[in-house]
A and B are shown apart, each in its own frame.
Chain A
Amino acid sequence: MKITKEIIELHGLKSDEYSKIKLLMNREPNYLELGIFSAMWNEHCSYKSSKIHLKKLPVKNKNVIQGPGENAGVIDIGEGDAIVFKIESHNHPSFIEPYQGAATGVGGILRDVFTMGARPIALLNSIHFGDPSNKKTKNLLNGVVSGIGGYGNCIGIPTVAGETKFNNTYNENILVNAMAVGLVNKKKIFYSKAKGINKAVVYVGSKTGRDGIHGASMASAEFDENSEDKKPTVQVGDPFTEKLLMEACLELMKKDSIISIQDMGAAGLTSSSVEMAFKGGLGIELDLDKIPCREENMSPYEMMLSESQERMLIILEDGKENEARQIFKKWDLDFVVIGKTTDTKNLSLKFKNEVVATIPIEALSSKAPLYDRKWVKKKFDKKKINLKEHKKIKFDKAFFELISSPNHSNKQWVTEQYDQMVMGNTIERSGADAAIVKIHQKDKAIALTVDSSANYCKSHPLSGGKQIVCESWRNLISVGAKPIAITNCLNFGNPENPEVMGQFAENILGIKEACEFLDYPVVSGNVSFYNGTNNNNIYPTPVIGGVGLIKNLNKIKNHKFKKIDSHILIIGKTFGHLDQSAFINELYNIHDGMPPEINLLNEKNNGEMILKLIANENINSVHDISSGGIIIALAEMSISSQVGVKIQKPQKISNIFEYFFGEDQGRYLIEVEKNNLSKVEKKLRENNIYFENIGTTQKDYFELEKDLKINVKELYELNNKWYNKFNGLNS
């Protein structure tokens, strides 16, 4: 087939990129080769627009065993144990088919983790939908939630934390980010780097179908006369097969048979084989007649670009084939030697006894295009909101509205669809500041959280980048964990738009600054560009997945009030920053202004102080103050414990709304028993930590002087009512 301009375009390649291909190949590529280039050179595989920015992120410290560049990041948690984790997006597939899109997103990220030899022990997710009143939202939401549950529940890995958010910026482009966390013996970590020549390349797992093949070939009318068959086939997740694949791989990994292993994710067989060969400085030769196919008459093009799920590529040590084959047979999985490593440094494909493609591996990886795309700095809107210029609203009304709003209402109806307890180690589940998962049969645990704040990042990408790292840090601190490292999923619009690229560049700088200051490195991640439609880009939405370590299981805290008559202290200073707050956003529908400032020094001091207080057992409960300010944080503590509060307004505050709804950063609420109060206050003063005592816990009522009084049971109902209304109305 002749490579025409249209075909190149359909493959998403620019004309200068095609010229580069010809130069690297020293000839015109054939159709199959073009398909392979397009798969490897697209944004998803090549990181061509993001790489130069990502390089700025801190990726190392004494805890990091493996940073970005492998299937997932690895950190040391002592005693020979390591934690493997990564977050990844599956936004576009989930918009097309929410159940399968979300399910395969979970499946993909799990493979990234067990590929490295780790047994997955927890799943998390961050899902963002359009306005609840948007017609599509309900369907997408229900589909995504049951897809995430369907996959995680079946494979038997607990979904322990997550966030579900609504904003009309996602009306036409939802976000589905899934994070997986695994546990591995430090000495038994597996990597994707191939070693040695003439080693067997083995295909294991499910058969290859025409799933998710790049739209390019399918849309080309000349390709086939039957047009119905040309749409890319939606990938269907099969968690049962993945469970078998996981058990089989983990069983094989106990032996010394594997040189390298790589899952077939995006761009399937192509990217996995190229990745392994490139890292080892080798070539790879595949015999496509041997690929286990699900459909008849599959072409080499389809086999190489198929994104069928639940497949892996393994390079085996000599003489280990039978042993390995037996294991996969036991689990009823395909196991086929499909090729070998070579010293040619080429990807060489044979089909029906003919060489059908020969491409230098480097051309597909290190020589892929890299762009320093044009970007512009965000212009800021320095105007501060003046509440006096806007409609008057009663304090209690405002609070009731916010606590029952889609974004602040209870998400139990989501998390009850996820098995959070399987594996028997979940100490703290969804709803806590961070989930806590015990390390099986050891006296330690990890804390896990995922966070995002698109509103802040949209209005000030640099500050938003810092904020979201700090928020993650704070959430881990609040349960008594020492934050160790993060993974990030960077969801942005079209990188060819200089404003979007500017958001990206500045956001990365913000993340970098906070990560460096807090010694909280990035060990893995994923970039998802082109979120948006018709030049309507989504708000920049970096999602941070944080992992912390708890060394003493007796020093764990949550945000539930424990007793009545305890004192409630705010740690950190309240200035009353309302711009970009949930209060202003949701109640006034005002979206301009600057987000609250980040003071990294205070952030660090306050956080470390909280950890000390927890370690000395001076405090009963902790909660970080985030979206919705002090009053929403207090409400969350009351709702979860059904213990009320009696709050006094500090005398010097100028405005009750600013004080209680403001979203100043670096703050926590702590519950201190009466007899510990002087001790705790003394400690705070000694360490120059700013704090205010704002009241006490009490039975039954959530109360703020004359401005607000509600029974905690009613408050619970209020916090839960939104979903039932939403679910009832639209069904």
Chain B
Amino acid sequence: MKFAVIITLKKDVLDPQGKVVEHTLQSMGINSLKNLRQGKYIEIDLNETDEKKAHNIIEDMCKKLLVNLIIEEYKIKKI
């Protein structure tokens, strides 16, 4: 069973990278760009058939290692 984890900085946390990328794109003429934040995307393949269990395992991975809960938040999606 495959999952995607999308990790982004929490809403209020400064994202220096996103800020610079946003500014560069804007100065390249992309005027409709309003806001850009950068994050991480991780694909995980699990040997598990029960979706709920699998979800819990991924959740556990996020909390134990993948995500820095102090500054980041995450979403888990089945793919």
Q: Do chains A and B touch in the complex (CB under 8 A)?
A: yes
The docked-state distance in angstroms from the alpha carbon of A209 to that of B18 is 15
Whether B70 pairs with A211 at a CB distance below 8 angstroms is no
What is the bound-complex CA distance between A308 and B12, given in angstroms?
Answer: 11
Contact A209 B16 (CB under 8 A): no
Q: Is B30 an interface residue (CB 8 A)?
A: no
A97 touches B16 (CB 8 A): no
Encoded as 1 (CB less than 8 Å from any A CB) or 0, chain B from 13 to 51 comes to 111100110010000000000000000000000000000
A241 within 8 A of B: yes
Closest B-chain residue to A295, C-beta based? B12
Kindly provide the distance from the CB of B19 to the nearest chain A CB, expressed in whole angstroms. Answer: 8
**Residues from chain A with Cβ under 8 Å of B71 in the complex:** 97, 100, 234, 236
Residues of chain A lying within 8 A (CB to CB) of residue B11: 229, 295
Name the one of A206, A233, A240, A332 contacting B12, with C-beta atoms under 8 angstroms. A233
Q: Give complex CA distance A309, B16 in Å.
A: 11
A234: which B residues are within 8 A, CB to CB?
A: 13, 70-71
A56 interfacial contact with B, CB 8 Å: no
CB B2 to nearest CB in A, in angstroms, measures 27
Query: By the criterion CB–CB under 8 Å, are B14 and A211 in contact?
Result: yes
Report Cα–Cα, A211/B16, bound state, in Å. Answer: 13
- Mask: chain A, 222-252; 1 = CB below 8 Å from B; 0 = not: 0000000100011111101100000000000
Chain B interface, number of residues (Cβ within 8 angstroms): 14
**Residues of the A chain whose Cβ atoms lie less than 8 Å from the Cβ of B10:** 233
Provide the main secondary structure of the chain B interface.
loop
Are B12 and A236 closer than 8 Å at their CB atoms?
no
Q: Is A241 a contact partner of B12 (Cβ separation < 8 A)?
A: no
User: What's the Cα separation between A100 and B16 when bound, in Å?
Assistant: 12
Q: Is the CB of B14 within 8 A of A332?
A: no
Please indicate the chain A residues that have their CB under 8 angstroms from the CB of B19 in the complex: 238
A97 close to B20 (CB less than 8 A): no
- When chains A and B are docked, how far (Å) is the Cα of A206 from the Cα of B15? 12
B28 to chain A, nearest CB (A): 14
A562 interface residue, CB < 8 Å from B? Answer: no
Q: Which residues of B contact A211 (CB under 8 A)?
A: 12-14
Residues of A within 8 A of B70 (CB): 96-97, 234
Cα separation A107 to B20 with both chains bound (whole Å): 18
Whether the pair B16, A238 counts as a contact (CB closer than 8 A) is: yes
**Do A209 and B23 contact each other (CB < 8 Å), given the known contacts A96-B70, A97-B68, A236-B71?**
no
Query: Is residue A374 contacting chain B, with contact meaning CB distance below 8 A?
Result: no
Residues of chain A at the chain B interface (Cβ within 8 Å): 96-97, 100, 206, 209-211, 229, 233-238, 240-241, 294-295, 308-309, 332
Q: Interface on B for A, CB 8 Å cutoff?
A: 9-16, 19-20, 23, 68, 70-71
Given A100-B71, A236-B16, 9 more contacts at CB 8 Å? A206-B14, A209-B13, A210-B12, A229-B11, A236-B14, A238-B14, A240-B20, A241-B16, A309-B14
Q: Return 11 A-B CB contacts under 8 Å, by A number.
A: A100-B71, A206-B14, A209-B13, A209-B14, A210-B12, A234-B71, A236-B16, A237-B16, A238-B14, A240-B16, A241-B16
